[in-house]
Structure 1
Amino acid sequence: MTAETILVTGSTDGIGRVTARILAEQGHRVLIHGRNREKGRSVRDSIREATGSDQLDLFIADLTDRQNIRDLAADVTETYGRLDVLINNAGVFQPEREVAPGGIEMTLAVNFLAPFLLTHELLPLLEASRSTRIVNVASIAHRSVHAIDWENLPAGENYDPYTAYAVSKVGVIAFTRRLAGMLEGTGVTVNSLHPGVIDTKLLRAYAGENSGGAPPEQGAAVEVYVATAPEAGEVSGRYFEKKQETMPSALARDAGVQKRFWHLGMELTGIEEWQVG
């Protein structure tokens, strides 16, 4: 396996942390991302001790803040001349409504807008490599959404935690599919996945301490598969569950829904244009 440079957002906890460890075990250069520098250093050192890898780096950024996201992309670009895989793993479930900078409901800000903006900012670096992948972590929860209350976005004033989470994941899949069309022929693929119902801080925020989820290793295996398996790199715009390509909901496949999420992302992140190719 060729060693690649891989950024995993939200990799100081849960599935992301295990994903980073597995990728390091495979010999990849892993860029660990978290919000807290002290915790990030502890996780980096722990992964280094467990794997013997000397190819670990740490980046700190608050994904609720647009400037932090831009600074993260700039730091990665300045530090490395290439990025082979971007895994947009970071995500939240908010039992109570919280508001990110700009009056944007927190779930939408972290789960949808952060990967939208970070992907845009890192796209030139991704395109500079010969063959690269963008991996967006979605959720099977998206299937529970049959209509979107667009008037409730982005502030989410009519707040239901599960609905907010599920809608944000519809947005992730819709964004993935639209971006895949734009990237056709560039050598960059983009796919989304459901990692499973996994025992993480996110699941416990929804279901309580006795959530009954599967171990993080099971979810990490799906992320690593989509990020590294040769066959997963041959497709784009697809959605995976349990390492199997499957069809997302009709809502996520709807071209009108994809367009509205795309324009919502553009408006809320201040992106004027996507330069592709």
Structure 2
Amino acid sequence: MAERTILVTGSTDGIGEATARELSRQGHRVLLHGRNPEKGRKVLAELEENTGADRLDLFIADLSVQEQVMRLAEEVAGAYDRLDVLINNAGVFMPERAVAPGGIEMTFAVNFLSQVLLAHELLGLLERSAPARIVNVASIAHRSARSVDWGNLPGFPDYDAYDAYAVSKLGVVAFTARLARTLEGTGVTANSLHPGVIDTKLLRAYTGGRDGGAPPEKGAEVEVHLALSPDAGETSGGYFEENRWKRPSSLALDAGVQEQFWEMGSSLTGAVRWADPKAYAR
């Protein structure tokens, strides 16, 4: 398989780190991302030692801060002339309400809006590298969102931790399906996935610190499959769960819901160029 350049957000821990390790082991150029520089450098050194790879790089950004998301995209585009796959893996579960800049609730800012903005800012590079892929990590939790209180977004003043998480992941699935339609003819695909119930910091935040779930390597298998497999390259707008393409929730498939997440994601991030994605390649 030809070497691919792949950015994995949230790759200094958990599923993201396991994904980066496997992609590096297979000989791909992996761009790591984390929030903590010291931890990032430690993981970079460990992966280089454990995989023998010399094609790793590290980028630092707090994805709850949109200026840092845009800076991350600028740094990647400035350092590399191609990007074959963007894996939007980073995610959080916040037991208590926290607020990101702009009054946006932290779960929504990281899990949903950072994916919207990073894909938007890197689309030109992805198009110039086509065929290319956007892989957005969602969750089976999106099925728990039976409705969306649009008036409660994006600040979630009426806060329930699990509801905020489920709505953020519903947004990922719905937005990805809408994005895939916009990207038709560009050579860039967009799909979302549920990596499984995996033993990560995020799961322990939900369970109150209790261990559980499969090892991160199991979740990484799903992300690597969507990043590299031929069938994933031929699919766009799909949702992958339990090792196969599955129909997401009826709410995620609702055209009106998709459009509302699309408009909200675009307006809150300033991602206004989606109307003509082919312009990115020029």
TM-score when normalising by structure 1 = 0.99
User: Following TM superposition, by how much is the alpha carbon of 1:212 offset from its aligned partner in structure 2, in angstroms?
Assistant: 1.6
Task: Report what 1:212 is aligned to.
Answer: 212
Residue 255 (structure 1) aligned with residue 263 (structure 2): no
Task: Report what 2:238 is aligned to.
Answer: 238
Aligned partners of 2:271, 2:49: CA distance in 1, in Å? 40
Task: Report what 1:153 is aligned to.
Answer: 153
The aligned amino acid for 1:276 is P
Task: Report what 2:124 is aligned to.
Answer: 124
Aligned partners of 2:231, 2:61: CA distance in 1, in Å? 32
Task: Report what 1:228 is aligned to.
Answer: 228
Aligned partners of 2:224, 2:241: CA distance in 1, in Å? 13
Task: Report what 1:77 is aligned to.
Answer: 77
Q: Is the 8 A contact 1:104 1:154 kept in 2?
A: yes
Q: Is the 8 A contact 1:196 1:219 kept in 2?
A: yes
Structure 1: gaps spanning 5 or more residues? none
Calculate percent identity across the aligned residue pairs. Answer: 66
Aligned partners of 1:230, 1:2: CA distance in 2, in Å? 13
User: Following TM superposition, by how much is the alpha carbon of 1:211 offset from its aligned partner in structure 2, in angstroms?
Assistant: 3.4
Aligned partners of 2:271, 2:227: CA distance in 1, in Å? 26
Task: Report what 1:190 is aligned to.
Answer: 190
Runs of 4+ residues deviating >4 angstroms: none
1:138-149 aligned within 5 A: 138-149=138-149
User: Following TM superposition, by how much is the alpha carbon of 1:231 offset from its aligned partner in structure 2, in angstroms?
Assistant: 1.1
Residue 112 (structure 1) aligned with residue 124 (structure 2): no
Aligned partners of 1:209, 1:271: CA distance in 2, in Å? 36
CA RMSD of aligned residues (A): 0.7
Aligned partners of 1:235, 1:44: CA distance in 2, in Å? 32
* Paired positions, count: 277
Residue 16 (structure 1) aligned with residue 11 (structure 2): no
Aligned partners of 2:29, 2:118: CA distance in 1, in Å? 19
Aligned partners of 1:25, 1:240: CA distance in 2, in Å? 24
Residue 178 (structure 1) aligned with residue 178 (structure 2): yes
Q: What SS is found at the alignment partner of 1:102?
A: helix
TM-score when normalising by structure 2 = 0.97
User: Following TM superposition, by how much is the alpha carbon of 1:243 offset from its aligned partner in structure 2, in angstroms?
Assistant: 2.4
1:220-254 deviation per Cα after TM superposition (whole angstroms, max 9, x unaligned): 10000011111111100000013200000000000
User: Following TM superposition, by how much is the alpha carbon of 1:159 offset from its aligned partner in structure 2, in angstroms?
Assistant: 0.3
Task: Report what 2:32 is aligned to.
Answer: 32
Q: Is the 8 A contact 1:195 1:241 kept in 2?
A: yes
Task: Report what 1:276 is aligned to.
Answer: 277
User: Following TM superposition, by how much is the alpha carbon of 1:18 offset from its aligned partner in structure 2, in angstroms?
Assistant: 0.3
